[in-house]
Amino acid sequence: MIDCGLFQGLKELRLRNWQPLPVSAASISRVVLTHAHIDHTGYLPRLVRDGFAGPVHATTATADLLKIMLPDSGRLQEEDADFARRKGFSKHHPPLPLYTEQDANAALKHLSPSKYGQTLQLSKTMSGRFVSAGHILGSGFAVIDIAEKGAAPIKVVFSGDLGRYDQPILNDPSTIEVADYLLVESTYGDRIHPQTDPKEELAAIIKRTVERGGKIIIPAFALGRTQLLIYYLRELEDEGRIPVLPVSVDSPMGVDVTRLYSRHHEDHDANMETVEKLPRNPLATNNFSLVHGRAGSKGLDSQKGAAIIVSASGMATGGRVLHHLASYLPDPASAVILVGYQAMGTRGRRLQDGEKEIKIHGEWVPVNAQVESISSLSAHADSGEILRWLKGFKRPPRATYIVHGESGSTQALKEKIVKELGWNAVIPTQTELVELA
Ligand SMILES: [Zn+2]
């Protein structure tokens, strides 16, 4: 089984998490995880609870990240079930979590970490390896070889999520030259990211806010966006383009993940390695704090003067960022910077759409702060970058399956691949069976 994620976002998708798998969990011999994001790993605790007993292959960084992320996901499932019980809207009586923190801890025991490039013996006829994908720390393409009698092995490549070129901290996506069958993601298959310089935009917003004496609140995903933001803020300070302000990372997971980002050198690009050699941390600014505990978090809101607070969740759907927003949205001198995709129905999207009041913890909060968006900070390749990666293959795969995208994105990417590369591109349907030969 390649990847084992949770459906996220719209309710009709999330309900799929409760449907039985098309095969029994016990019949699956191994799991291979391309990276730690919950939409690729979050079902694992349930799979183990339902009888999966084999090893789970992941890179060492992915395995380390999962030790933070899966128990957290279990806690969230338990909180959701609690909430449903209090509000009385669950169809389960009593409402049950999909899995618990304890289930997540049990699943972690199955992890089998490996280095990039290391050969994984998956069965008598199958072997695999991870090749760096540049999406988040530890992310890899899964390259699987299936031995054939009297013929060269069949090579199947799974992109997982494809990272971006020329971004700081992480390596660019590796080039892969050969695949007989390819599965490629298509999150942004219909889009090109804006070519604006995110540092330029950050600097301008920060300077304007400092002049007004306000606070800068940045809702950011703990894994990936938080580290990139800190890297850029440090560079801007070092280049004298913004004043040195107190910068606080306020999300329990963000703190732990930032430490892991510093530790895993195998994922670092040349820039990151150069600044790592300096006697200071590239993932910390000049007046920097990682906030521990709720008291420290609440204390941030009573500090005077301009400051930057980076806090999860990235779409303001929950987490500690909510009380910072409740404190500073009413303040016209302050600013909120949205740095990632804001899904429909989230508070982040409402702010982006210019709503004048939003509800936080049951109270209506007036939006007087400046709300800004920087969309060039995405971790996913856009359609141009996907094509750039595909052009690295020396010959067309026999079939390229376009996965992991909304229907508009998969369709747009399919048309591009057929038109620009002349490949056999296929949009598979759920549970479709395909014979490899
Ligand atoms: Zn991802």
Residue 430 neighbours by CB under 8 Å, 6+ apart: none
Q: Say whether the peptide bond before residue 407 is cis (omega within 30 degrees of 0).
A: no
Tell which residue, 229, 248, 367, has the closest CA to residue 308: 248
64 alpha carbon to ligand 1 midpoint, in Å?
Answer: 16
63 alpha carbon to ligand 1 midpoint, in Å?
Answer: 15
pLDDT at residue 202 in the model: 96
225 alpha carbon to ligand 1 midpoint, in Å?
Answer: 12
396 alpha carbon to ligand 1 midpoint, in Å?
Answer: 25
- How far is the C-alpha of 196 from the C-alpha of 28, rounded, in Å? 45
Extended strands (E) in 174-214? 181-185
Residue 343 CA: distances (Å) to CA of 192, 271, 338, 350: 18, 32, 12, 9
Tens-place pLDDT, residues 202-232: 999 999 999 999 999 999 988 888 999 999 9
Reported confidence tier of residue 345, pLDDT bands at 50, 70, 90:
confident
Tens-place pLDDT, residues 395-437: 999 999 999 988 899 999 999 999 999 999 999 998 899 999 8
187 alpha carbon to ligand 1 midpoint, in Å?
Answer: 10
Reported confidence tier of residue 4, pLDDT bands at 50, 70, 90:
very high
207 alpha carbon to ligand 1 midpoint, in Å?
Answer: 32
192 alpha carbon to ligand 1 midpoint, in Å?
Answer: 18
Reported confidence tier of residue 9, pLDDT bands at 50, 70, 90:
low
Reported confidence tier of residue 91, pLDDT bands at 50, 70, 90:
low
pLDDT at residue 104 in the model: 98
123 alpha carbon to ligand 1 midpoint, in Å?
Answer: 27
365 alpha carbon to ligand 1 midpoint, in Å?
Answer: 32
136 alpha carbon to ligand 1 midpoint, in Å?
Answer: 7
39 has pLDDT over 70: yes
Tens-place pLDDT, residues 297-323: 888 888 889 999 999 888 898 888 998
Residue 233 CA: distances (Å) to CA of 6, 209, 288, 404: 32, 15, 11, 32
Query: Rounded to the nearest 5 degrees, what angle is found at the Cα of 388, between the Cα atoms of 386 and 393?
Result: 100
135 alpha carbon to ligand 1 midpoint, in Å?
Answer: 7
* 138 in Cβ contact with 361 (< 8 Å): no
Residue 11 neighbours by CB under 8 Å, 6+ apart: none
pLDDT at residue 220 in the model: 92
113 has pLDDT over 70: yes
337 has pLDDT over 90: yes
163 alpha carbon to ligand 1 midpoint, in Å?
Answer: 9
* 252 in Cβ contact with 75 (< 8 Å): no
238 alpha carbon to ligand 1 midpoint, in Å?
Answer: 30
404 alpha carbon to ligand 1 midpoint, in Å?
Answer: 10
Q: In what order do the strands lie in the sheet with 288-290?
A: 288-290, 247-249, 307-311, 215-219, 335-338, 370-373
The whole-chain average pLDDT of the chain stands at 92
Tell which residue, 138, 163, 146, has the closest CA to residue 58: 138
How many other C-beta atoms are found inside a 10 Å radius of the C-beta of residue 428?
14
377 alpha carbon to ligand 1 midpoint, in Å?
Answer: 14
Query: Rounded to the nearest 5 degrees, what angle is found at the Cα of 133, between the Cα atoms of 130 and 137?
Result: 90
Lowest pLDDT segment from 28-32, 71-75, 130-134, 275-279? 275-279
240 alpha carbon to ligand 1 midpoint, in Å?
Answer: 33
70 alpha carbon to ligand 1 midpoint, in Å?
Answer: 15
If you write DSSP's letter for every residue of 71-122 in order, what string do you get? HHHHHHHHHHHHHHHHHT--SSSS---SS-HHHHHHHHTTEEEE-TT--EE-
How many other C-beta atoms are found inside a 10 Å radius of the C-beta of residue 366?
12
pTM for the whole thing?
A: 0.88
Tens-place pLDDT, residues 123-172: 999 999 999 999 999 999 999 999 988 889 999 999 999 999 998 899 99
321 alpha carbon to ligand 1 midpoint, in Å?
Answer: 22
Tens-place pLDDT, residues 245-287: 999 998 878 878 888 998 899 999 988 888 778 777 888 999 9
pLDDT at residue 122 in the model: 97
- How far is the C-alpha of 45 from the C-alpha of 71, rounded, in Å? 9
48 alpha carbon to ligand 1 midpoint, in Å?
Answer: 22
Buried b (16+ CB within 10 A) or exposed e, 137-156: bbbbbbbbbbeeeeeeebbb
Query: 58: part of which helix (H) or strand (E)?
Result: strand 56-59
Query: 126: part of which helix (H) or strand (E)?
Result: strand 126-132
16 alpha carbon to ligand 1 midpoint, in Å?
Answer: 19
Please compute the mean of the pLDDT values over residues 9-18 and round it to a whole number. Answer: 82
Query: 57: part of which helix (H) or strand (E)?
Result: strand 56-59
226 alpha carbon to ligand 1 midpoint, in Å?
Answer: 14
pLDDT at residue 83 in the model: 76
109 has pLDDT over 70: yes
Buried b (16+ CB within 10 A) or exposed e, 49-61: bbebebebbbbbb
Q: Which residues pair with 29 in a beta bridge?
A: none
161 alpha carbon to ligand 1 midpoint, in Å?
Answer: 5
Tens-place pLDDT, residues 42-66: 999 999 999 999 999 999 999 999 9
338 has pLDDT over 90: yes
235 alpha carbon to ligand 1 midpoint, in Å?
Answer: 25
Percent of the chain with pLDDT over 90: 68
9 alpha carbon to ligand 1 midpoint, in Å?
Answer: 14
